[in-house]
Chain A
Amino acid sequence: MQDILFYIFAAMALGFGVLVLTSRNPVTSAMCLVLTLVCLAGLFVLLHAFFLAAIQVLVYGGAVMVLFLFVIMLLDLKAEERRKIQTFGLIGGLIAVGAIVSIFFRSLAASRPAGSGALTLEGNPYPLGKLLFTGYLLPFEIVSVLLLVAMVGVVLLSKKDLK
């Protein structure tokens, strides 16, 4: 059952990912991205990372994508007019990505599979929160400061008379 779900979610995530790339209207791209993210949340559930799945939907699928849509709306972007496809860019991209992917899969094939012991880990909020507030307290605080800085930066950037 779980394996079937994995393949379904994986296929959907990749499929919508391709649509993000190929659609010419940014709004469509954004919507496809939302779907990809939701599928990833499903994969997280399959990995028993329940808390992460929830956050993925809330933060990514919710907040971040709303931000994207707001900006699209703000800029009033129409569907892109057809531009000449850059053959050079296309071939270059294919070469670079192909190289990385081939290296990646070669090393994946060469690697030993991890020990298949009993998988007991549960990504519940309780153990995760405990770890976050004990072992990772300092990074946690730093990240909170980072968010503050980002917020201030955004406010500054959004001011009308930007020099």
Chain B
Amino acid sequence: MSLDVLPWIILFLPLFAAVMITLLTRHNRTWSAGLSIAAVVLGFLLSVLFVWNAGWQPATAEMSASWLSVGNLQVQFGLHLDPLSVLMMLVVTGVASAIHVYSFGYMREDSGFSRYFAGLSLFTFSMLGIVLANNFFQLFIFWELVGVSSYLLIGFWYEKASAADAAKKAFITNRLGDFGFLLGILTVWTALGSLNFGVLQQKLVDDPTLWGPAAAGAGLLIFCGAVGKSAQFPLHVWLPDAMEGPTPVSALIHAATMVAAGVYMLCRVFFLIQPSGALPAIAFIGGLTSILAALAAVQQDDIKRILAYSTLSQLGYMVMAIGMGGPTPAMFHLITHAFFKALLFLGAGSVILAAHHEQNIWKMGGLRTRMPVTFWTFCFGGLALAGLWPWSGFFSKDSILAQALSAHHYVYFVLGLGIAFLTTFYIGRLLVVVFLGSSRSAACEHAREAPPVMAWPLRLLAVLSLVGGWIGIESVLLKAFPGPSPEPVAGFSQQLAGPFLHAPAAAWSGILVFALGALAAWRVYAGTKSDPLPAKLGSFSRAMRNAFYFDDFYAATVIRFHDFLAVIADWFERWIIAGLAVRGVHGSTELAGRALRRLQTGNLQTYAFLFALGVAVVLYWVLGK
């Protein structure tokens, strides 16, 4: 078997599982879970095999088959294999594997077990499709598939109104971004005449002026797609609500799929965006999202919402990095973030399960001794998120800060440090309140450690969170984005020390803000029974708690306007279309029918008379004139 087949198999395995579960094994829980888990784990193993044999830069970079041909638009269905997509394929299948296995434990009690795994497999398939797509059209299709599967999974407990609403919100908000994205794709096609990434890149290399005046608009429109999918300001509102789904789904959305898709797409088409001049806007949006979300995270009480706003903040960080012209740091952070955010969510899932579905952190506490595995792995995730050397988050965050320095974006550098401080603060708050101190509820006093099927994925992800920064991920990414950055060295020790050698200012300031944040969190929260901040900050705390009232703002403007339109449309439908058009036709038909019915007397002679009259008329017509 040739190596070229492997990516296709990896891509379609989850789809196969999803179809089989839906069609055949819906009523057999073990089979459904087995199929789904086997598909994704096998996909991960095949990915490893593929990288082992073909390397990061496979010989056949592109495999495609012609799919549609409309006029001079050629749409292909194909795979694009370069360090970026291969690495991402590995990460997606890897993290998804851990989450699948974990789900087997987490969802054990649920009645929709098979449906859940079918959705999970479909989700993985869609994300792999985005990662491997070789053209915009295919990417967009999988992009929408991700939206659909996220809808299915966020609304998994659809009998709960809030879950159904959250699913709808996520889907509709994404649609807004996707609309811009589609327009962007069309602009690209109009301006450059192709949708294939390789062809586009070659065209731009050959003739950089080809972009022309459409550039900035197209760049921003494509960015719209990422704004929706990666939940950037102002379309970020869906992500916190998406917490209504099962916790492993949140992990999947926040780590390997969905939100990662936006950032990944931006990196994939970075060659288009860079010359378009949209970068400053992208950096601004990213920075704004990041700082707002970080502030909001500080005052959340729901453990999953804290992590959700944390994801928002980290995504803003990545988008900011792209805006500063650094796709490599952005992707680096995306991957390490995938490791530690999946870990944090799965850890949170264990805590929630142990606390009998209690999500308020102020009703937990003291879980350190009762759930040691969860505590230690969660600590690893938290430290990676906060960015302590040598955890992975430190390296990726440092590379973003270094990018800000080297690109002379000092404002963003300071902003980044501020966000890093806030990050350390809120994750410190989470750790201290949930795991230390004493129990604040009965459920937590009897909390038990998660079963092995859930604990082992945590351990695996904890290891990855620790080592993710210095096992060569960055050097692989550097191959994907040819640039002026120096080729990093290979050895672990040199990678560990790398940040301090290349950009000591960024590295040391990162360590410094970590220390400050950790200290602040300890000082404020150690041993408290309730949050002391609302009293100190007053209305600002309330604003943070409500995520700066964006939901209310949208409810008051966009949704009210939308409702107004809906009322008009309803009135129009009810009175003009149904009333005038439909009922008018029906009414006049009935009236004519009533009139004509008078003619049907049932009397033979009347018929004969009418018949004779008809004959007379015809005769007159033919002869008489």
Contact = CB atoms under 8 A, between A and B. Distances in A.
Contacts of A133: none
A103 B624 CA distance: 6
Interface stretch (B166-174, B500-508, B614-622): B614-622
Contacts of B615: 100
B199 interface: no
Nearest to A96: B612
Given A89-B609, A92-B609, A93-B609, A100 B623 contact: no
A99 interface: yes
Given A104-B619, A107-B623, A89 B605 contact: yes
B512 interface: no
Interface string B585-625: 00000000000000000000100010011011001100110
A138 interface: no
Contacts of A107: 623-624
A104 B615 CA distance: 12
Contacts of B620: 99, 103
A163 interface: no
A103 B609 contact: no
Nearest to B603: A89
A97 interface: yes
A97 B619 CA distance: 12
B609 A99 contact: no
Nearest to A108: B623
Given A89-B605, A89-B609, A100 B624 contact: no
What secondary structure prevails in chain B residues at the interface with A?
helix
Nearest to A89: B605
Contact of B616 (A86, A89, A96, A106): A96
Contacts of B619: 100, 103-104
Contacts of B605: 86, 89
B623 A99 contact: no
A100 B612 contact: yes
B614 to A, nearest CB: 9
Nearest to B615: A100
Nearest to B624: A103
A97 B616 CA distance: 8
A8 to B, nearest CB: 30
A159 to B, nearest CB: 25
A99 B610 CA distance: 13
A96 B613 CA distance: 5
Contacts of B616: 96, 99-100, 103
A92 B609 CA distance: 7
Nearest to B623: A107
A95 B613 CA distance: 8
A57 to B, nearest CB: 29
Contacts of B609: 89, 92-93, 96
B623 A103 contact: yes
Interface in A80-124: 86, 89, 92-93, 95-97, 99-100, 103-104, 106-107
21 contacts: A86-B605, A89-B609, A92-B609, A93-B609, A95-B613, A96-B612, A96-B613, A97-B612, A99-B616, A99-B620, A100-B615, A100-B616, A100-B619, A103-B616, A103-B619, A103-B624, A104-B619, A106-B623, A106-B624, A107-B623, A107-B624
Interface of B: 605, 609, 612-613, 615-616, 619-620, 623-624
